[in-house]
């Protein structure tokens, strides 16, 4: 977690040999463990004819991307597929850090992911993702680019071996997918966007991740210059991902705070059960429909994505963008107007309290922002008005002792979004939580105890009548201890982890809990 503890771990990390085959948990971690698994539900698949296409098959040893060609299947719907499911199968053995990666087809980012850390004998894992929304991109031959940046040398020996496939399912019923998907790439500064002149709905998705091994990987722990901590940021830990159109603020969002599989200085927490979203990094979505009339004039417009709070000229964030467009097929040109734009005053305050004696240093942070944008479009089926309102709030308490031998954070982020289109409204309340402590105690025993939460509540209304609802609640709890600065066979690591993933709503119920002890899967229970 702290940079000091991270350095201690990085100098001696990883692993031994031998499979984890015990029926009951051992007294401490062995040389191998259960393959990575999450409690998240598999992608549902229709019972229709399917066709599978291999998109990429590569071994990653460095930062050279895989490049190839994609050809869509000629059967199973010929571009009108009812569903498309991406599957990534990976394997790695030896020593290796967690690594970030992406898969792009025709420049469109269809997957952003990270990897587990391996045992010497090796692990396998898989990721599934519904990519039906990219159907327009997948309907034609495209170039493929994939990269999981890696370092392989005498110390870090793990070569990451992956295969990515797409399975196409014949249509069973119509699906409301975008008519166009426009990739903007990783917007360093700004880039230009030209949408079709008959666009009636526009959504931008941003795969925003703070990473790269520096302090922005732990952005939620950064402190202002006045505080004596190893990770600095001018304005503290508040981060906000913004989208601007022609210099005007068009969308705001709270980034999800992921913890990669080497995170918080303790890979023993994540060997089997990763934190939420780690293998399938979800994009932030921004409904830009109020700006459709501005973007539909046939001219290129400047689109800029920025992360508030990142020190100027400091690297560490990736923000690749896809723009999803729904067109009015009965109109050559959709006109309209941006009718309202109201931005609240951004809030971001950090109060530093110095530690004295055995009292820890403390940083209390509060931040937030509010934005409301309205507009309408004149379509072949009438005038459609859209209002998008988003409200963000972040609070955190960060405590640490001299030398960062104790480092603790309790933080929460809320992101409320309401999209009202005509008489229909969708309100989504997203809540992210992090509560963790790392201590380096007697005998160099390093312990990390952490809880992570990823929750989203959504309600759809038509007028005053509720027509749909859902609640997603993904919670991870872990506690792991090992001896730092010693060879692997002297670490005497112990650890427990637990994940409960619940998804309930008007369409059904899913509830699964998995738990591990010393790398052995001890519980796999389904409640629905």
Q: What is the mean pLDDT of residues 313-317?
A: 79
CA dihedral 415, 416, 422, 423 (to 10 degrees): 150
pLDDT in tens, 360-377: 999 999 999 999 999 999
CB proximity list for 44: less than 8 A, separation 6 or greater: none
- What's the chain's Rg over C-alpha atoms? 24
pLDDT number for residue 316: 82
Mean pLDDT of the chain: 92
Name the strand (E) or helix (H) holding 409.
strand 406-421
Cα first-last separation, the chain:
36
Domain count, the chain: 1
Q: Please determine, for residue 4, whether its predicted confidence score (pLDDT) is greater than 50.
A: no
Cβ proximity of 204 and 191 under 8 Å? no
pLDDT in tens, 170-205: 987 777 899 999 999 776 667 999 999 999 999 999
DSSP at 225: T
Is the pLDDT at 14 greater than 50? The verdict is no
Tens digits of per-residue pLDDT, 238-296? 999 999 999 999 999 999 999 999 999 999 999 999 999 999 999 999 999 999 999 99
Where residue 483 falls among pLDDT bands split at 50, 70, 90? very high
> How many Å apart are CA 24 and CA 436, to the nearest integer?
28
Q: Running DSSP on this structure, what letter comes out for residue 408?
A: E
Tokens of 284: 């932030």
Signed CA dihedral, 110, 116, 120, 123: sign only: negative
Percent of the chain topping pLDDT 70: 95
pTM over 0.85: yes
Strand ranges, E, within 260-360? 284-287, 301-308, 317-318, 320-327, 335-343, 347-353
* 381 burial via Cβ count (<10 Å: 0-12, 13-18, 19+): exposed
- Could you say which DSSP state residue 277 is in? T
Give dist(CA 174, CA 510) in Å, integer.
25
434: enclosing H helix or E strand: strand 424-440
For 42-84, the pLDDT digits (tens) are: 999 999 999 999 999 999 999 999 999 999 999 888 888 999 9
For the cut 60, the answer to whether the pLDDT of residue 11 exceeds it is: no
* Distances 422 to 236, 248, 340 between C-alpha atoms, Å: 40, 24, 15
From the list 344, 362, 342, 366, the residue with the least C-alpha distance to 352 is 362
pLDDT top residue among 77 and 1? 77
**pLDDT of 6 over the 70 cut:** no
Helical segments of 73-178, H only: 135-138
Q: How far is CA 170 from CA 49, 53, 140, in A?
A: 5, 14, 16
pLDDT for position 23? 62
- The pLDDT score that the predictor gives to residue 18 is 35
- Domain extent at residue 51: 3-526
Looking from the CA of 504 toward its CB, the CA atoms found within 13 Å total 7
Q: What is the pLDDT of residue 188?
A: 63
Instruction: Give the pairing type, strands 160-169 and 108-114.
Output: unpaired
Query: d(Cα 190, Cα 183) in Å, to the nearest integer?
Result: 13
Interacting residues of 77 by C-beta distance below 8 A, sequence separation 6+: 168, 169, 170, 171
How confident is the model over 461-486, as a mean pLDDT? 96
- At residue 13, the pLDDT reads 28
Tell me the pLDDT band of 213, cut-offs 50, 70 and 90.
low
pLDDT tens digits for range 494-527: 999 999 999 999 989 999 999 999 999 999 999 9
């Amino acid at each position: 977690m702290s940079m000091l503890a991270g350095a201690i771990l990085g100098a001696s990390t990883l692993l031994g040999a031998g499979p984890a085959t015990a029926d009951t948990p051992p007294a401490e971690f062995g040389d191998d463990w259960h393959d990575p698994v999450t409690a998240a539900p598999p992608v549902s698949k229709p019972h229709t004819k399917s066709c599978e296409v291999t998109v990429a098959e590569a071994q990653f040893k460095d930062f050279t991307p895989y490049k190839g060609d994609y050809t869509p299947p000629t059967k199973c719907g010929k571009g009108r597929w009812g569903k498309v499911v991406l599957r990534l199968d990976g394997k790695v053995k030896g020593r290796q850090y967690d690594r970030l990666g992406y898969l792009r087809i025709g420049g469109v980012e269809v997957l952003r992911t990270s990897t587990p850390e391996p045992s010497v004998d090796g692990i396998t894992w898989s990721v599934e993702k519904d990519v039906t929304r990219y159907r327009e991109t997948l309907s034609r031959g495209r170039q493929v680019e994939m990269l999981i940046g890696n370092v392989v040398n005498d110390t870090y020996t793990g070569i990451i071996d992956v295969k990515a496939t797409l399975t196409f399912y014949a249509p069973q019923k119509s699906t409301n997918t975008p008519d166009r998907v426009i990739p903007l790439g990783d917007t360093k500064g700004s880039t230009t966007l030209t949408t079709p002149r008959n666009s009636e709905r526009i959504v931008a998705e941003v795969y925003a991740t703070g990473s790269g091994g520096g302090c922005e990987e732990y952005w939620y722990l950064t402190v202002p210059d006045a505080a004596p901590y190893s990770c600095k940021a001018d304005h503290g830990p508040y981060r906000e991902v913004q989208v601007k159109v022609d210099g005007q603020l068009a969308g705001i969002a709270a980034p999800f705070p992921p913890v990669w599989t080497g995170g918080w200085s303790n890979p023993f927490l994540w060997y089997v059960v990763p934190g939420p979203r780690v293998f399938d990094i979800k994009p932030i979505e921004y409904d830009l429909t109020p700006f459709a009339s501005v973007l539909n004039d046939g001219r290129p417009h400047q689109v800029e994505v920025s992360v508030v709070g990142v020190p100027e000229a400091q690297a560490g964030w990736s923000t690749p963008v896809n723009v999803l467009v729904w067109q009015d097929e009965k109109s050559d040109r959709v006109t309209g107007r941006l009718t309202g734009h109201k931005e609240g005053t951004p809030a971001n305050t950090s109060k530093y309290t110095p530690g004295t004696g055995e009292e820890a240093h403390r940083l209390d942070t509060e931040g937030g922002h509010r934005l409301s944008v309205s507009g309408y479009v004149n379509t072949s089926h009438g005038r459609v008005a859209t209002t998008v309102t988003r409200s963000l709030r972040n609070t955190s308490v960060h405590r640490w002792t001299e030398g960062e031998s104790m480092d603790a954070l309790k933080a929460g982020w809320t992101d409320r979004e309401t999209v009202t289109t005509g008489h229909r409204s969708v309100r989504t309340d997203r809540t992210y939580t992090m509560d963790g402590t790392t201590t380096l105690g007697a005998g160099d025993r390093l312990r990390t105890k952490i809880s992570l939460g990823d929750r989203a509540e959504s309600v759809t209304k038509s007028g005053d009548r509720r027509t749909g609802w859902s609640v997603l609640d993904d919670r991870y709890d872990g506690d792991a201890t090992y001896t730092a600065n010693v060879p692997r066979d002297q670490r005497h690591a112990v650890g427990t982890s637990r994940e409960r993933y619940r998804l309930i709503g008007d369409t059904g119920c899913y509830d699964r809990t998995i738990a591990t002890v010393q790398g052995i899967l001890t519980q796999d229970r389904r409640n629905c």
